[in-house]
Amino acid sequence: MHSHSKLDSFGKDRAKSYDQSNNHIVPIYENLHYLIKILLSEVAPNSKILCIGVGTGSEIIELAEAFPKFTFVAVDPSESMLEVCREKLKKLNLLDRCELIHGYVEDVQELEGFDGALCLLVLHHTTLEDRTKIITGIFKCLKTTGYFICAEISFDLTSSAFGDIIEKWQSMIRRSGSQEGKIQNLPRMMKEHLFIQAPSEVELILVSSGFLNPIQFFQALLIRAWYARK
Ligand SMILES: C[S@@+](CC[C@H](N)C(=O)[O-])C[C@H]1O[C@@H](n2cnc3c(N)ncnc32)[C@H](O)[C@@H]1O
């Protein structure tokens, strides 16, 4: 496995409770996945899709149902998240359409082999150095016609608008039943423990990694998503 910064936040306990603890975000995910399906309806029916930071596999499950001939290569450095993903795919009889790789994008062998690549809710967890490794790695894996779709928490944390919108985010998190102390600590946690980039910075890194003209197609509070082609 290649070296990226050590990330302890997706261990066994988090992996087991991940889907349940993300319930409050499901309506946002549904909308995001819906739009991703529209974007990917342009690629060939038998496309091969790369999922970097697949976690518990939500994106594969959504796409596999909508596109019955798609196959997937899914990568994640967390053994625990991958294990939950494997169980879910097995129950849905999807394992024979998926290759699961415990590792990083550099562990994917097929260069220029993919029609689409997803990196959903991963990049705000990674350092700037790892973000660049992931994006350039995905660039190498995509066919020239391929689509890259990324979603992440992205906002200018120094702007006055952040102070406002974070309150809306906190109201949403409150619905998950999270402890009030944790909710109050969210702005600090985001500034100190996540690697949140402003939208202009996200786009700059995509362009400097070779992607042409990234287009933001989605925003729900702090979560934004882009698509880009080579
Ligand atoms: C918040 S989860 C998102 C999972 C899934 N994509 C989703 O939308 O539900 C983030 C995932 O990114 C993985 N991850 C963290 N650092 C990574 C890296 N450098 N390369 C690939 N995946 C990474 C974590 O292990 C975790 O499973």
Task: List residues near ligand 1 (CB under 6 A).
Answer: 4, 7, 10, 52-55, 58-59, 75-78, 81, 104, 120-122, 125-126, 130, 134
Q: 70 C-alpha vs ligand 1 centroid, how far in Å?
A: 21
Asked whether the predicted pLDDT for residue 54 surpasses 90, the reply is yes
Q: How far is CA 90 from the centre of its chain?
A: 21
- From the alpha carbon of 22, which atom of ligand 1 is closest? 9
Q: 173 C-alpha vs ligand 1 centroid, how far in Å?
A: 20
Integer Cα distance of 153 and 194 in angstroms: 9
Residue 162 host element (H or E): helix 160-174
Under the banding of pLDDT at 50, 70 and 90, the label for residue 6 is low
Q: Which of 166, 158, 147 is nearest to 214 (CA)?
A: 147
Q: 53 C-alpha vs ligand 1 centroid, how far in Å?
A: 3
Q: Which of 10, 107, 122, 128 most suits a substitution to test ligand 1, by most atoms within 8 Å of the C-beta?
A: 122
Residue 75 exposed, middle or buried by CB count within 10 Å (0-12, 13-18, 19+): buried
Integer Cα distance of 28 and 74 in angstroms: 22
Residue 14: its pLDDT value, please?
80
Please tell me the pTM assigned to this model: 0.95
Q: Which CATH superfamily is domain 12-157+195-229 in?
A: Vaccinia Virus protein VP39 (3.40.50.150)
Q: 5 C-alpha vs ligand 1 centroid, how far in Å?
A: 13
Atom 21 in ligand 1: which residue has the minimum CA distance? Answer: 53
| Per-residue tokens: 123 | 């990049």
Q: 51 C-alpha vs ligand 1 centroid, how far in Å?
A: 9
Asked whether the predicted pLDDT for residue 7 surpasses 70, the reply is no
Atom 13 in ligand 1: which residue has the minimum CA distance? Answer: 53
* Domain ranges across the chain: 12-157+195-229
Per-residue pLDDT tens digits for 151-207 = 999 999 999 999 999 999 999 999 888 899 999 999 999 999 999 999 999 999 999
Q: How many Cβ atoms sit within 10 Å of the Cβ of residue 14? A: 16
Residue 64: its pLDDT value, please?
98
Mean pLDDT of the chain: 94
